[in-house]
Amino acid sequence: MDLKNIGWDSSFEDHLKQIISKTKYDYNFLVGRVSAVHTNLCQVLTEGGEITAQVSGKMRDKINNELSGSGGENLDAAFPAVGDWVMMIHDQQHNSGIIRMVLPRRTKFSRNAAGSTSQEQVIASNIDYAFIVAALNADFNPSRIERYLVTTWNSGAVPVILLNKADLCSEVDVNIAEMEKTAVGVSVHAISAARGEGLEQLSPYLQNGRTSVFIGSSGAGKSTIINRLLGRDVIKVVETSDYKDKGRHTTTSREMYLLEDGGIVIDTPGMRELQLWEGEQGLFETFDDIEQLAAQCRFNDCRHQEEPGCAIRSALEKGEIDQVRFKNFLKLQRELKFQEARHNVKVRMEQSKRWKNIAKTRRHLNKDSTCR
């Protein structure tokens, strides 16, 4: 297997050379790309084929030590994710490996882990395109797509919107126009994966060595699209339920697939909840029109409420900005500020705990030396 066909390029080659030059090892490393993660084991694609590898104890200890100042809360983000390039010790006899290091990620699609925690969860890394899949049925929600856009722009990947199940919608052109107006500069494609219609529009993105991740809500049809691209039913798919015309969740883990004509695709579980991890830049990219208008307000700290000279309020009154879109902008903005504040408080608490532990250790050491 040629590593270039699965995304290897000069940037990763340079990182590898720098790591090897700075570190003394008495053995050779095998380089590969993580195609799937199963708890403590990873499936890794290498020049010799796919092998099973586990994270080394030394790597775990190093990550724990480096993150001890932050309570080790982002261990998930530090460990290998689907799409990562890793350096491994290869056991040729058993065709397995031990992962010793993850090469620096060029891009990564992350979210805040579900629940009330503040913990980064990497969905996929080193991706070129993020296909945001939404179903054109009763569950169609443009505001939800805006949330995915914020996260995608922040990931470093290029977003592409796929409006699937076009065969279930009588106003496809209207929805496309609405999305193009909402997601300025983002390509929007209407397809029907069930009928195999419109998939030829994806060819420009699925080039050899390019990686695309499919993201979206449960039942949007991500797995069906990938099955169509693969030309066979590799991923189990459950038919759309009758209840409110919603699809049923099928994919349970993130996994990479290689297309015969080139290109790499990553399937992901449907996200019932996409909490923003970070995304100030992504918010600006997604709501560029609102951000530009806000810069025209008379006051720099304008809250766009009753302040005089508010460009946003004027645009809303004239119908130049959609009310629902603006409310979603404010909602996402508040969420990001809350997430940032929660993270800062957490860091301060963890740093305080760390210094208390250091002081406690020093007291014990001083007490022991005095006793001697």
Domain end residue (candidates: 207, 235, 267): 267
Supply φ then ψ for residue 224, to 5 degrees: -65, -40
Residue 300 buriedness (CB in 10 A; 0-12 / 13-18 / 19+) = exposed
Is 113 found in the same domain as 257? Answer: yes
Task: Tell me: pLDDT of 324 over 70.
Answer: yes
Total domain count for the chain?
A: 2
In this prediction, residue 347 has a pLDDT band, given cuts at 50, 70 and 90, of very low
The pTM of the full predicted model, rounded to 2 decimals, is: 0.76
Task: Look at residue 47 and tell me if it is in a domain.
Answer: yes
* pLDDT value of residue 303: 78
pLDDT digits (tens, 9 = 90+) for 61-88: 777 666 555 444 455 677 899 999 999 9
Task: Look at residue 162 and tell me if it is in a domain.
Answer: yes
Residue 149 buriedness (CB in 10 A; 0-12 / 13-18 / 19+) = buried
Task: Look at residue 130 and tell me if it is in a domain.
Answer: yes
Q: Mean per-residue pLDDT for 161-188?
A: 91
Alpha carbon distance 328, 287 (integer Å): 10
In this prediction, residue 111 has a pLDDT band, given cuts at 50, 70 and 90, of confident
Q: Are 215 and 133 in contact (CB under 8 A)?
A: yes
Return the CATH number at 129.
3.40.50.300
Is 187 found in the same domain as 209? Answer: yes
Which of 55-64, 202-211, 290-299 has the lowest average pLDDT? 55-64
* pLDDT value of residue 135: 92
- What kind and span of H or E run contains 129? strand 129-135
* pLDDT value of residue 199: 95
Residue 84 buriedness (CB in 10 A; 0-12 / 13-18 / 19+) = buried
* pLDDT value of residue 47: 94
Is 87 found in the same domain as 204? Answer: no
Q: Are 36 and 269 in contact (CB under 8 A)?
A: no
Task: Look at residue 343 and tell me if it is in a domain.
Answer: no
Task: Look at residue 154 and tell me if it is in a domain.
Answer: yes
Q: Are 137 and 168 in contact (CB under 8 A)?
A: yes
Q: Are 286 and 146 in contact (CB under 8 A)?
A: yes
Q: Are 4 and 209 in contact (CB under 8 A)?
A: yes
Expressed as residue numbers, the domain containing 223 is 108-267
Is 7 found in the same domain as 79? Answer: yes
Token readout for 276 is 């923003």
Return the CATH number at 18.
2.40.50.140
Task: Look at residue 368 and tell me if it is in a domain.
Answer: no
Task: Look at residue 357 and tell me if it is in a domain.
Answer: no
Name which residue leads in pLDDT, 170 or 347.
170
Domain end residue (candidates: 73, 102, 131): 102
Task: Look at residue 54 and tell me if it is in a domain.
Answer: yes
Domain end residue (candidates: 267, 299, 333): 267
- Mean pLDDT of the chain, nearest integer: 80
Residues in Cβ contact with 57 at an 8 Å cutoff, skipping those fewer than 6 apart: none
- What kind and span of H or E run contains 69? none
Task: Work out the number of other CB atoms within 10 angstroms of the CB of residue 311.
Answer: 19
Task: Work out the number of other CB atoms within 10 angstroms of the CB of residue 205.
Answer: 17
Residue 364 buriedness (CB in 10 A; 0-12 / 13-18 / 19+) = exposed
